[in-house]
Structure 1
C-alpha cells in the first residue's frame, strides 16, 4: 500500500513574494509547471537533485523550458511508450518532479509500435544527428557570446534576451530529443539482459571506457597543476585561500605571472561552465575563477598526479571482462540477442553521451540569459549586480521593453532574496519525496538515472515511519546501489551544493545528494563518493566507473546521517557504507557562500573570453 507524504506545507506556501502568476507565459506540451495543489497528493513526486540550493525566479525558466517543454515535446514526438515526459511543481524554491504516465494499455501499445519504427533510424544515424545538433548549439553559443552587450540599448538588450531564451529552449529540445531514444534503446537492452539472467549491476559497465569533453577539462586542470609545481608555486597555493589566489599570483610577478597567462588561456577554452547545471544564478569560471584555482590548490596536496591513462585502461579492461563474463553465461541464441543489443548501445552510447552533452548544454546554456540579466541590472541602477535574477521572466521583459521601471521591484527583490535564502537553508529538512509514495517503481528512467530503486524507497518508508529522521547508531551501516566497484575509507566531507567543492581535499570521501558534471574534477582526488540519489546511469556512477573511484548511490539519507569528519568506509562492490567513528564537529549547513555571491558583474572582456 502506498505511503502518503502530505503536501500541506507547500500548498499553503504562497511562493516568491509578489508573483501571483500561473507561469502561463511559458511553453508546455502536456502539463504546465506550477505550484502544488492538494490534488497533487495522489501522485508520486521526488525532489530533483540538480538544484540543491533552489532556483531564483529567473532560474525557474529551467522548469518551463527544460521540463515542461523539453521532456514533454521529446516524449511525444519519439514517442515514449509509457510516459509523456516530466511534470514538475515548486516546493518553496525547490523542484519536485513526477512522470506523466500513459495509463491506457492500447495507447501504450500503439506508442510502442511507433517507437519501433522511429528508433532504429535514430540509432543508425546517432553520430550524424548528435554532430549536427552539437554544431547548431555551438553556432547559437558563439553568436550570443560574441554579442557586445555594453553597446546595446535597453530595447536591443530586450531582443538579445529573447534570443538567449530561444537558445535556452532549443537546447533543451535537443537535450531530450537525444536523451529519450538513447534511454529507450538502453532500457530495451537492459531488459533483455535481465531476462537472460545477467546481473543488472554489471550492465552499465558494458558501456564504459570512452572519453568525453568533460574529462578533457579535468586533464587540462592537472596539466596546469604540473606547470604550477614546475614554476615553484606550490608554497603560494598552499598558504593562500582560493578566493585570494589570483591576486596573490598577480602580485608575485615573474613565473607566477607567466602561469596566470596559461591559466587565462585555460579559461578561454574551458572556463565557460558553471558550478551547477542549468542555473542562471551561477557564475562561470570566467566570471569567478575561485573553483578552478581551488581545485588546482587541492590537486597540489597529492604526491602524485591522477593517472588518466591508467584509469582509462582499467575501465576498458573492466568493460571487456564484464562483457566476456556475460557472454559465457548465455546460449548461442542469447549471445546473438546480446551482441546485437550491445553493438547498438555502444554505437549510440547513453553513458558516454550523458557526460559529453553536459559540456555543450547543461553547464553553459544558461549563461547568455545570465549575462543579459546582469547587464539589465547594471543599466537600470540595481542595488546589487544580481538583483535581476530575482525577477520572473515577464517582469524582466517589462523592464527592458520600457513598460515598467526597475524601481517598482526594489523592495520586492529584497524580499525574494530573503525567501530564496530561507529555502536554501531548509534544503536538508524538506522531504525527499511527496504525495503517494509507492512500494516499488517500475519506470527504468527513475531507477537508472534518479536512483529511485527498491532500497531508496525502503529507506524513505523507514525514515517516514520514524518521523523522517534516519536512526544513527554508534556503528551505522547504510545501504545503496553499488555504482562503481572498489573499497575505500576516509574522512567524510558532506556538501549540500558545489560552492565549496574546490575545498575537498585528496583522500576525503565526498557525500552529497548527487553529483552534476561540474563535480567531475573532484573524482580525481577523492577516495570515494556516496550519494543520496542516482542510479547506474547517473553522473556519479558514470564518472566513478571511469575514474575508478568506489561509488555508492541511492542511499537516500546519506547527507542526513553522515556528518563532516566522520570516518567512513565505502564498499562499491556491495553498496554498503559503514560509519566507523563519529565526528564531534557540527554538521555544515550550507547556504550561499559569502565569498561567492549568487551573481557578479562580468566585464565584456572576460565574458567574451
Structure 2
C-alpha cells in the first residue's frame, strides 16, 4: 500500500500536540503503535472509538478499554466462534483509542458456522434461565465489590493477632483487596460480553433476512419492528418522572426548589406529606441511582448516588415541565402501535414459508434485544460505579499517606503502578523507614496531568490509513455506524458545504437551534427544544431527551445508544456524521432529517 495515497494519515506520521510530546510514556507498550511493526500496522484500517471513549485516557482508566476489548474478543473468537468476526485490535494515539476489527479468513468462516449455531443456539433456546443466572452472577459480583474495604495500616499490629498465631500482617489484606478489586472488574467485563454479541447477532440475522425479502426496505423500518422495549436502562429516568409527579401531587414543588439538595430535602421533611415523598426518594436510590451521567468507562464519571445534585437537577426540570403542561413520559404506546403496524404490513407481503421464518427471527430478536440496553445498567453503571468508588477510596487513603495531593490523583498511575505504591507503603510501614513515592509521585502526577490535559484539547483524527474496499463486518456497521460511505464522508469533511450526511438513526424532521456538548457536565446548558449535537451520547442522558427536539452525533450506527434512545423517545436522530460537533456551533439553526440521515446548517 502507498501510505502517502491513503485517505487518512498513518499513525506513524501523526505528530504529538505541543506540550504532550512525551505522551507515550504514560501508556503501556502493548497499546502503542510500535515503529518495528509499521509495515503491518499501516496495512490495517483503524477508526477512533470515540463512541465509547470520547476523551483521552488517564493511565489507570486504560483498564476499561483493555478489559473490554479482550473480553469482546474472547466471546467472538474463543467462546461463540462468530463466523465472520473475531475481536478488535486496539492502539492509543495521542491519548485516544483506535480500533481495527479482525475478520475471519474467508476459507475458515464456513467451518465456524455449525460451532456457532450449536453454542449460540443453546443460549437462544435457554435465554430466560441463562439470563436469570447471569443477573445472579452480576449481583453477586456487585456485592463482593461493595464488601471490599481499604484501611490504613495501623501503628502496631493488634496484640491478639500476634498472640493468636495468625502470622500475617495487614499488608497481606491490603494487597489482596486491591488484587480482588481488579479481578472483580475483569470478571464484570467478561459477564458484560457473555450475552451482548448474541443480542446483536440475533438482530443482525433478522435484519439480513428482511433485507433479502425487501432489498429496498429502510433500515429504520426494520429497527422499528423491535422498538418499544421496556428496558431497565430507562428505570432511573422513569423513577425521576414518578418522583416529579408525586411532588406535584403532594404540593412539594416549592420545597424541592429550595437551595441545595440538603436544603430541599430538609424543606420537604418539614412539609405536610413530606415523609411520603422522602420515602419514595430513598426507595428509588437502591438500585436506580447507581447511574452515571457518563458511560462508566472513566474514573471521572459522576454517579447519581454519590452526587445527588445530578438527579435533583433532572427532577426539578421534570417538575417544571409538568407545571408547564408537558407530557414527560416516553410515547411507548405510540411506538408499539407503529411497531405492530409496520411489522404486519411487511409480513403480509411474504408467502407462508417466509412468514414462518420471519416470525421465528423476529420473536428471537424481541426476546434478546432488551439485553443490548439492559446490561448497561447492571455493568457500566452499577458494577463499575462500585468499582470506581472503591478505587477513589484507595486513592484517598494513599493521598492521606502523602503519596499525592488530590483525592483522584491515583488515576494518573496505571493499575500496576498502583500496586507498586502499595508495596512502597507496606515496605516503609514494615521497616519504619521512609516512603520513596511521597517524593516521586507528586511531580510525576503533575507531569502526566499536563500531558492528558494537552491531549484533551485536540480532537482526534477520525481514522488511520486506507479502509477496505467494502466494510462488511456487521458489528462495525450496526454499532459504530462505520460504512464505506461514512468513511468517504469523513475524508471529505473539510470540503463539505452546509449539508452533513450520516446514518438515519431515528425518523422525523426537525428544525431548531443547535447546542453542541462535549461532556455530560454540560447537560445543564441544554434549553428546551434545542438540537443536541455531540460526539456521542450516553444512555444516561435519557433525562434530557424529553427536552431536546433532535440529536446529532459524530459516531454511531443504527444500534448505537443514541439511535436506540431517540427511537424510544420518538425523536429524530442522525448518527455517524463524523464531524458534526466540529462543523456545527452552538446557536446555529439546523435541520435534522432522521428519515434520510442529513443535517443542514440553515444559518450561522
TM bucket normalised to smaller = 0.7 to 0.9
Instruction: Tell me what 2:600 maps to.
Output: 578
Which of 182, 185, 192 matches 1:175? 192
Shift in Å, 1:553: 1.2
1:51-97 CA-to-partner distances (Å, cap 9, x unmatched) read: 22222111100122111244334432101112221111112221111
In 2, Cα distance between equivalents of 1:248 and 1:194: 57
Question: Where in structure 1 are there 5+ consecutive unaligned residues?
Answer: 24-32, 464-468, 583-609
1:391-442 CA-to-partner distances (Å, cap 9, x unmatched) read: 101111112233675413111111111111112221xx32111122345311
Shift in Å, 1:157: 3.7
In 2, Cα distance between equivalents of 1:267 and 1:417: 34
| Maintained 8 Å contact 2:24/2:32 | no
Aligned Cα RMSD in Å? 2.7
In 2, Cα distance between equivalents of 1:415 and 1:551: 41
Instruction: Tell me what 2:342 maps to.
Output: 322
Call closer, same or farther: CA 1:186–1:250 in 2, change over 3 Å: closer
Shift in Å, 1:220: 0.8
Which of 93, 96, 99 matches 2:95? 93
Shift in Å, 1:208: 1.1
Call closer, same or farther: CA 1:390–1:260 in 2, change over 3 Å: farther
Instruction: Tell me what 1:336 maps to.
Output: 356
1:309-337 CA-to-partner distances (Å, cap 9, x unmatched) read: 6x111111111111112113323332232
| Maintained 8 Å contact 2:69/2:88 | yes
Instruction: Tell me what 2:202 maps to.
Output: 185
Instruction: Tell me what 2:29 maps to.
Output: 22
1:538-570 CA-to-partner distances (Å, cap 9, x unmatched) read: 111111111111111122221111111122222
TM-score by length of 2: 0.85
Instruction: Tell me what 2:414 maps to.
Output: 392
| Maintained 8 Å contact 1:56/1:281 | no
In 2, Cα distance between equivalents of 1:142 and 1:433: 40
For the residue of structure 1 that corresponds to 2:381, the secondary structure is coil
TM-score by length of 1: 0.84
For the residue of structure 2 that corresponds to 1:87, the secondary structure is strand
Which of 289, 293, 303 matches 1:271? 289
Instruction: Tell me what 2:66 maps to.
Output: 64
Instruction: Tell me what 1:28 maps to.
Output: none
In 2, Cα distance between equivalents of 1:156 and 1:331: 66
For the residue of structure 1 that corresponds to 2:465, the secondary structure is strand
Call closer, same or farther: CA 1:470–1:226 in 2, change over 3 Å: farther
Aligned residues: 555
Call closer, same or farther: CA 1:15–1:338 in 2, change over 3 Å: farther
For the residue of structure 1 that corresponds to 2:46, the secondary structure is strand
> Larger C-alpha radius of gyration, 1 or 2?
2
In 2, Cα distance between equivalents of 1:221 and 1:301: 13
Instruction: Tell me what 1:245 maps to.
Output: 260
Instruction: Tell me what 2:587 maps to.
Output: 565
Matched, 1:452 2:472: no
Which of 392, 398, 402 matches 1:374? 392
For the residue of structure 2 that corresponds to 1:436, the secondary structure is coil
Is the deviation greater in 557-566 or in 68-77? 68-77
| Maintained 8 Å contact 2:236/2:289 | no
Is the deviation greater in 254-263 or in 81-90? 254-263
Matched, 1:165 2:182: yes
1:143-185 CA-to-partner distances (Å, cap 9, x unmatched) read: 2224444588565343222222222111221222212222222
Instruction: Tell me what 2:561 maps to.
Output: 539
For the residue of structure 2 that corresponds to 1:273, the secondary structure is coil
In 2, Cα distance between equivalents of 1:575 and 1:506: 23
Instruction: Tell me what 1:355 maps to.
Output: 373
For the residue of structure 1 that corresponds to 2:577, the secondary structure is coil
